[in-house]
Amino acid sequence: MTVSTPIVAGTSYYTLKASDKQSFDLAVKFYQEIVGLQVKNTEDDQLFLHSGQEFPLNSVTIELKLDNQFKQPERKELKDEKLTQDWRSLRSNVVFKTDSIELLYENLKNHPNVQVQAYPSNLAPTEVYALDPIGNLIGFTSLKHPLSTVPPKYKKIDPELLTAPTTSAELETTGSFEQRRNIAVMTSGGDAPGMNACVRAVVRAAIYRGCKAYAVYEGYEGLVKGGPKYIREMDWQSVRGWLSEGGTNIGTARCKEFREREGRLLGAQHLIEAGIDALIVCGGDGSLTGADLFRQEWPSLIQELFDTNRITKEKFDKHKHLNICGTVGSIDNDMSSTDSTIGAYSSLARICQAIDYIDATANSHSRAFVVEVMGRHCGWLALMAGIATSADYILIPEKPAHSKEWEDQMCDIVEKHRSRGKRKTIVIVAEGAIAADLTPITSKDVLKVLVDRLGLDTRITTLGHVQRGGTAVAHDRMLATLQGVEAVKAVLESTPETPSPMIGIIENKICRRPLMEAVKLTKQVAEAIEAKDFKKAIGLRDSEFVEHLQNFISMNSADHNEPDLPKDKRLKIGIINVGAPAGGMNSAVYAMATYCMSRGHTPYAIHNGFTGLARHESVRSINWLDIEGWASRGGSDIGTNRSTPEEADIGLVAYYLEKYQFDGLVIVGGFEAFVSLNQLERARNDYPAFRIPLVLVPATISNNVPGTEYSLGADTCLNSLMEYCDIVKQSASSTRGRTFVVEVQGGNSGYIATFAQLICGAQASYVPEEGISLEQLDLDISSLKQSFTISEGAAKSGKLILKSANASKVLTTEVIADIITDEAQGRFDAKTAIPGHVQQGALPSPIDRTRAARLAVKAIQFIEDKQEFTQPIHYSESFDPNDTEISDTAAILGVKRSHLRFSPIRQVYDFETSLHTRMPKIVHWEPVRDVADALVGRTKVTKK
């Protein structure tokens, strides 16, 4: 039996075994002299061969191993089959693509001891099959589709991350064979959803780059204990199906021994014995601190091992340096220098789901609930859950108050909410919540205050380890996968002088940060809290944390306290939804309205889009109680449609905006909202009503709004689609031998299909930006055949192919499924699955809820800031629409790489938009396609 890894992004890597030295030597001779591979490296009982310039196989690497326990296939049976059976119907252990099929065939048929078959004829072969000396059936093909003998051109992809999102040039191949390293991955500390996705990414990215991948089981304990039980080599199939599994399959454990030098000495010895020279650790600040200390001590550790004869001189010379990289797995999101950690948003999703459920019973009985969430030193979970569920009060360690103060504050807010008709009360307590004197504040303390001072029927819900459970949400799968791939790249690029990197994310960009600098900042927060320097503790948190905290305080006060602004600064602000419904629209309206109230502005909802305004004058001021609970509701409660102002009657739109004397307008929506903003800005010369600050908050599942890399609703859509695909994939696995072709929404944007492929592990995704070529479809079907052959009878073997609805008008979802079924010739089949509007989601995801709040507040602040430019020119006859300061008052609020920015609509519409495709000219997520394809072993055909 041959252990093989399928073709990975144009690269084939196979491990073949021989049972004795004679067979081993014959195999080396066969692959050198006949196939044309070159010996690149030799080790004990194993040898590596790689394709060279003179023989153009497509990046082939073969590892030959001498294994006395291996049972070699009987060659006699295969020889006999040559006489009676077409070898194309047999399972080929190895399949190579080649541009020199004729030369290969000549080499094979002229060798007297090699059995060979050629198809369709010996004169013009396009497929050749041969038996190697150790009993493997080897296939060679030059086919690009069944009716052609022209060899295809392949795209060699490199799993680059979002380091250059504006272009997707042809990228380099996997690198030279001499740079091969043995990379180990380990999970440590508390488990977090998404750790399995990180391990999967590290393993496959390492194999793709020509390295060996290892997993250290049971965290640092496995490192200390060592041996094949704890340090195992991983192949491509070892991590199949791990994306949809929670926790960590390679285990994690606390280890006291590793905290001592003797334990780290054992860990170093075991890594060296396994041949490992790079270690990627996924864990919290304690785990990453241990990893960096391990690297700092490495020179002295290996010197001691050599001096005590525990390692040889050869191994000492070979392992002088250990490269370390950290990816942060922590549900608390307590690591500085990154916006989110692996598992944090999954944990937040569990909390929000629980509170959404609690809301119903709290409302039914007019009860108060005290919900305790994790967060010993960090209140991120409590803060974000407070925003996402519009909780009445939160208690977090970063912002304590004296006992009397927090009790008075909480009771004051709860009483005001209740007096305005709210029937339920939700108070969220972080487990590390403290008073100003560092006295812990427990759930029981909060319950006692609510009962004794307000007389509320109160219950406590402690979520505990439920917050760690379940599969990872879409964001964590994406984050863990991209960080894992970047971590492999980082250790390969590191030098002995390079500080250990930590992989993080800022807004929308994967980035590297010095590991110890991030850990130092993280620990300073706990130290500041311990020293009762709470202002410093808040300052040390990332700016986004501080921003969210200020927003929560503002929104939570709404119209209950005296407004922040004097009367002459208070504004009338209109809010309108345009386009298809998207998760987060209601959250944005709620956040805008409550923030407006806290400032003293009057928020107005324009119902049913511009059509509702023009036809029915559907303008209503917003009452706090009417929108209570909207932060966690899906869809659009103020209504939405796709009509632009010009389609609805732009003159009437101007009339009503003037009638209500709006000082600013916020548009929430997708591409139609984008076009609407442009129409209003262009019409300012004719209609003074539009000479007010105009801002677009992008919201569409397609994520195709120019001027931003993220739109509200996209994450909700991805989560809905991910859950759907997980279920469909489970069905496919249960049936064995089945592929589902899933039709994905997104218009002319392939964003949803691409990221769904990344987070679901689909074999391929077809997107409008690329279309579907017959060559590519043929390659993907060939890959499916190989995948089903390799995983025959195994669990988790269901396959998915994702197709954007607009990827092809001819090759529809049903047609693709029929072609796959026909080409499979009974070995497997394909079914269609069309989730349709299920993809819009029900309740918005926590990411869309909290981002909606952040963007909403930013939008209102934009309107406030731009009053100085718009008020003087509102009725001015000398109005100049080309004045930059004036044109900049109509803008799109969006995420651009690592920044949140306002982009003038005129600039974006004129220079950054492809109007006929309703897309940005630059596809910022294009490099992610390469990563998604590489991690499932997909080969791409380049366009001629």
- CA distances (Å), 348 to each of 245, 332, 472, 585, 921, in order? 17, 9, 11, 19, 35
Strands (E), 52-199: 60-66, 94-97, 116-119, 127-131, 137-141, 154-155, 182-187
Query: Rounded to the nearest 5 degrees, what angle is found at the Cα of 338, between the Cα atoms of 333 and 339?
Result: 65
Q: pLDDT of 807-850, one tens digit each?
A: 999 999 999 999 999 998 888 899 999 999 999 998 999 999 99
Mean per-residue pLDDT over the chain, rounded: 87
Q: Average pLDDT, stretch 394-399?
A: 92
Taking the whole predicted model, whether its pTM rises above 0.85 is answered as: no
Read off the pLDDT band of 297 (50, 70, 90).
very high
pLDDT of residue 797: 76
pLDDT of residue 496: 85
Q: Which residues contact 754 (CB under 8 A, 6 or more apart)?
A: 765, 767, 925, 928, 929, 932
DSSP 142: -
**Could you tell me the maximum CA-CA distance found in the chain, to the nearest angstrom?**
98
pLDDT of residue 168: 26
pLDDT of 55 strictly over 50:
no
Q: pLDDT of 402-422, one tens digit each?
A: 878 899 999 999 999 999 999
Provide φ and ψ at 837, rounded to 5°.
-75, 0
Give CA–CA dist 356/358, Å, rounded: 5
pLDDT of residue 44: 64
Alpha helices for 390-473 (secondary structure H): 403-419, 443-454
Read off the pLDDT band of 52 (50, 70, 90).
low
pLDDT of residue 85: 59
Pairing of strands 60-66, 11-18: parallel
Q: pLDDT of 793-809, one tens digit each?
A: 677 778 999 999 999 99
Q: Which residues pair with 48 in a beta bridge?
A: 41, 63
Q: Average pLDDT, stretch 705-726?
A: 96
pLDDT of 53 strictly over 60:
no
pLDDT of residue 13: 66
Taking each helix axis as running N to C, give the angle between helix 474-493 and helix 926-934, from 0 to 180 degrees, rounded to the nearest 10. Answer: 80
Q: Which helix (H) or strand (E) holds 804?
A: strand 799-804
Percent of the chain at pLDDT > 70 equals: 90
pLDDT of 10 strictly over 50:
no
Give CA–CA dist 604/620, Å, rounded: 5
Sheet holding 3-8, edge to edge: 3-8, 11-18, 60-66, 46-51, 37-43
Read off the pLDDT band of 54 (50, 70, 90).
very low
pLDDT of residue 174: 34
pLDDT of 711 strictly over 90:
yes
Sheet holding 602-606, edge to edge: 619-621, 602-606, 572-578, 664-669, 694-698, 890-896, 899-904
Q: pLDDT of 854-910, one tens digit each?
A: 999 999 999 999 999 888 877 777 788 888 889 999 999 999 877 889 999 999 999
Catalytic residue positions, numbered:
332
Write out the two tokens for 691. Answer: 């000479």
pLDDT of 205 strictly over 70:
yes
Q: Average pLDDT, stretch 328-349?
A: 93
- Amino acid making up residue 453: R
Binding-site residue ranges for ATP:
190, 254-255, 284-287
pLDDT of 164 strictly over 80:
no
Taking each helix axis as running N to C, give the angle between helix 650-659 and helix 609-616, from 0 to 180 degrees, rounded to the nearest 10. Answer: 70
Q: pLDDT of 97-152, one tens digit each?
A: 776 777 788 888 877 778 888 876 676 677 888 888 888 888 887 764 433 334 44
Read off the pLDDT band of 63 (50, 70, 90).
confident
Q: Which helix (H) or strand (E) holds 82?
A: helix 75-84
pLDDT of residue 12: 56
pLDDT of 555 strictly over 80:
yes
- CA distances (Å), 617 to each of 624, 647, 669, 795, in order? 21, 16, 20, 59
Binding-site residue ranges:
190, 254-255, 284-287, 330-332, 367, 374-376, 431, 459, 465-468, 642, 700-704, 738, 745-747, 831, 837-840, 918
Which domains does the chain carry? 3-152 (3.10.180.10), 181-340+472-522 (3.40.50.450), 345-467 (3.40.50.460), 562-712+847-911 (3.40.50.450), 714-842+928-941 (3.40.50.460)
- CA 880 to centroid of chain Cα atoms: 45
pLDDT of 584 strictly over 90:
yes
pLDDT of 7 strictly over 90:
no
What is the full DSSP assignment across 632-644? Answer: G--S-TT--B---
Q: Average pLDDT, stretch 497-503?
A: 91
Q: Average pLDDT, stretch 734-757?
A: 93
pLDDT of residue 148: 38
pLDDT of residue 939: 85
Write out the two tokens for 42. Answer: 């030799």
Give CA–CA dist 645/655, Å, rounded: 12
Binding-site residue ranges for beta-D-fructose 2,6-bisphosphate:
642, 700-704, 738, 745-747, 831, 837-840, 918
Q: Average pLDDT, stretch 616-642?
A: 94
| Pick from 372-386, 556-570, 615-629, 913-927: least confident | 556-570
Q: Which residues pair with 231 in a beta bridge?
A: 216
